Structure 1
Amino acid sequence: MSTDKAFDLLYSEFKHVSAAALWIVDENISTQIVPPAIPLISAISNRLDITQDLQRQGWNCSFNDYLLETLGEHHFQSIFLRIPKEKAQAHYIINQAQRLLSGGGSLYISGSKQEGIKGFIQRAGTLTNIPTQTWKADKQTWAGKITFDGPSRTTLDDKSYRSLRQAPSDSHFRFWSKPGIFGWDKIDKGSELLIQHLEMLVAENNDIDSALDIGCGYGYLSLHSARLLNISITATDNNAAAVAACQANLDHYQLQGKALADNCADNINSRYPLVICNPPFHSGFGVENDLTDRFLQSAATHLTNKGIAIFVVNLHIPLERKASRYFTHCETPIITGHFKLVRLSQPKI
């Protein structure tokens, strides 16, 4: 049993697979508890860390931003989807399922009532004339089996999921972004605070010619750091859509930099005089788990001896306490009602 009953509803159907099937995986999953790999089931995820975890467990898993258009028509007998947080992403996958499934093939979707699973099942059911089957793990967790009888003349509104669009903007940039990236259509207040104080925070260091952005998203910190400091940026994220958007923004504004798919910059061997990071501690991650240490350790590993690492985190997160394990100097020069900027130097790694 996993910690997510919606996944358990899907996993219980895996044992019935007798022909080629596709499993769409996103950030909701805990890869600590998944079924043994099944050769007939191919997986696809937009998260590099999840892809790597599943591959280590023997799953045939691909990493990309759900490039379902590249897969052959009518190839799969079953498609499995635990409803993701992004509605447009779910609608896009449901629309694509019609093309990917063979005649009489079925889409299995699951999720919680709080996430609107009943609405997703109902909307998917409008695309076929075959009655939808539903079942549940409990009062809050449901699953549906939608069997398609051929391509529908209608599709669900997926907000042109595949396409980058200039969504959030400020006085300097209109950022290319898309659904599937955390906070894709807004400017994060914490990141905005970091940029407001960036020049002041690095004023004593005259040797900054490059920076590493760990967890870049669509590139807000990367673009503004390149603009303000006239430096080259290496931006990393484990989300396929984020990497594509960040690179598109760097290219569009002709800024020096490259965006790389990486998990906490694990595969980057260089050190930088500046590391910037707005970690995802505020978006459902526990502050006492390994993720906190991973971001701090990565920053220390990639910072030069005379460099500066700047984190922005929610006010309640005790980042300083854990940072002392990785850095000699730790200070919190900026504190607001919601955020704080933590400046770290002299890495111990």
Structure 2
Amino acid sequence: MNDLPLNWITQELTALNADMNARFLWCTDENALNTLPTALHQEQLLVLTNRWDVAEQAKARGFTTAFNDFDCSEIPDNSLDKIFYRVSKEKPVVHHLLNQAWRCLKPGGQLLVAGYKNEGTKTYIEKIAKLLGSGKNIEKNGPVYSAALSKYTEYDAEQLLDDSDYRQPRPIALDSGIKLLSKPGLFGWNKVDAGSALLIEQLKQLSPPPNPLSTCVDLGCGYGYLTIAAASLDICKSINHWTLTDNNAAALQLAQQNLQHNQLNGEVIAADAGKSIRAKVDLLLCNPPFHQGFGIDGDLTDKFLLSAKHLLAPQGIAFFVVNQFIPLERKAAPLFNQIRVVIDNGSFKVIQLGL
């Protein structure tokens, strides 16, 4: 998918002509996947991303890279000459990074920001332009809004854009009977996903298998709901080690905290759909994403199914929950000998897979 706002950002990066003392920051998420250029201004530019796959691609292309939940706390105030940012999907993330741009830019430094019209980009530009004391300088090119905004005002923590307390984990789903922490920046961060809840309801009805399960991978774990909710079920009581893996830095942070919060023995691994995990497990749980960037991407389903095949032990079982329109059964057919639709409620379906 050709991302026009990202194209504008990379053009601006390519056009840079600065002395070696200048320092630049590029904040990017999944929008840059598979479209990163080779290293630009290698000594001066830091790529900051919350996506493991983007971080790995950026490193492979020669960029100095930081992988975290857009944590700018180690960047000194008034230290950057330019910041480049293609707006993210979720408002708290955008407001968080715009606030950090105000803090980190030098007086006279520039924020270069772009996004599509239907992502609220024009409003974001107007808000941060006011804080920076800059003219809006908004350019419209078809569906894309972009702006180069200079900083003329001193950072004031009392005037920040509302980022929903982005950095702070907090308890959620208090009526679920389990201990869960989450935070803004994750898809559906403040509730239990309906598909995941359906999967857990089906697992509740299953008896332990003849050969007790001892290991489980939560593939694309998010903040760890499937692991935490499944741990107390009869089918999972014999499991003595949990592995949670995700591509998103915030998810990994929260999954680790939720393991500790619930005193479960496990590990949290950053990976692209579990690719780097070499273990063979008895049970695999997965509620895979079906959006890549801003569009539906069927290849993601294939990626998660391939990982499930490689991760399952010979007698292992996998449970997937997907939106009703995802043809998981057809996609799984070349990879798995056992495919069973456990339930289809018209919105989601739970599918059991075996080798």
TM-score range relative to shorter protein:
over 0.9
**What is the match of residue 177 of structure 2?**
172
Q: 1:269 aligned to 2:311?
A: no
Q: After the TM superposition, which of the residue ranges 320-329 and 193-202 deviates more from structure 2?
A: 193-202
Q: 1:37 aligned to 2:39?
A: yes
- Aligned-pair distance for 1:281? 1.8
Q: 1:197 aligned to 2:206?
A: no
Extract unaligned runs of 5+ from structure 1.
none
**What is the match of residue 10 of structure 1?**
9
Letter paired with 2:37:
P
Query: Within 2, Cα distance between the matches of 1:167 and 1:110?
Result: 33
The SS at the match of 1:34 is: coil
Query: Within 1, Cα distance between the matches of 2:260 and 2:352?
Result: 29
**What is the match of residue 184 of structure 1?**
189
- Aligned-pair distance for 1:51? 0.9
Identity %: 37
Q: Deviations over 1:243-268 (max 9, x none)?
A: 11011111112122222211122222
Q: Deviations over 1:172-229 (max 9, x none)?
A: 1242111111211121111000000114346435421221000000111010111222
Letter paired with 2:36:
V
The SS at the match of 1:267 is: coil
**What is the match of residue 352 of structure 2?**
343
**What is the match of residue 224 of structure 2?**
219
- Aligned-pair distance for 1:235? 0.5
- Aligned-pair distance for 1:16? 2.4
Report how many residues are paired: 342
Q: Deviations over 1:58-106 (max 9, x none)?
A: 2222111111011223221000111101111111111111221122101
Letter paired with 2:221:
C
Q: Residue 218 of structure 2 contacts residue 242 of structure 2 at CA under 8 Å; is this kept in 1? A: yes
Letter paired with 1:329:
Q
Q: Deviations over 1:138-194 (max 9, x none)?
A: 2x2111222112423321111111111113333312421111112111211110000
Q: Deviations over 1:269-318 (max 9, x none)?
A: 111110000000267664542x2222111111111111101100111111
Segments of 4+ moved more than 3 angstroms: 199-206, 282-288
Q: Residue 169 of structure 1 contacts residue 187 of structure 1 at CA under 8 Å; is this kept in 2? A: no
Change (3 A) 1:21 1:293: same
Q: Residue 308 of structure 1 contacts residue 345 of structure 1 at CA under 8 Å; is this kept in 2? A: yes
Change (3 A) 1:287 1:66: closer
Q: Residue 112 of structure 2 contacts residue 149 of structure 2 at CA under 8 Å; is this kept in 1? A: yes
User: Which aligned pairs between 1:1-349 and structure 2 lie closer than 5 A?
Assistant: 3-14=2-13, 15-18=15-18, 19-29=22-32, 31-38=33-40, 39=42, 40-138=44-142, 140-153=143-156, 154-201=159-206, 203-228=208-233, 229-230=236-237, 231=239, 232-281=241-290, 286=296, 288-289=298-299, 291-346=300-355
The SS at the match of 1:280 is: coil
Change (3 A) 1:334 1:282: farther
Query: Within 2, Cα distance between the matches of 1:254 and 1:285?
Result: 37
- Aligned-pair distance for 1:128? 2.5
Change (3 A) 1:275 1:17: farther
Change (3 A) 1:93 1:176: same
Change (3 A) 1:100 1:265: same
Q: Residue 122 of structure 2 contacts residue 138 of structure 2 at CA under 8 Å; is this kept in 1? A: no
Query: Within 2, Cα distance between the matches of 1:188 and 1:205?
Result: 31
**TM-score, normalised by the number of residues in structure 1:** 0.93
Q: Residue 132 of structure 1 contacts residue 147 of structure 1 at CA under 8 Å; is this kept in 2? A: no
Change (3 A) 1:135 1:287: closer
Query: Within 2, Cα distance between the matches of 1:133 and 1:16?
Result: 19
Query: Within 1, Cα distance between the matches of 2:2 and 2:295?
Result: 15
Q: Residue 264 of structure 1 contacts residue 295 of structure 1 at CA under 8 Å; is this kept in 2? A: yes
Q: Residue 9 of structure 1 contacts residue 137 of structure 1 at CA under 8 Å; is this kept in 2? A: no
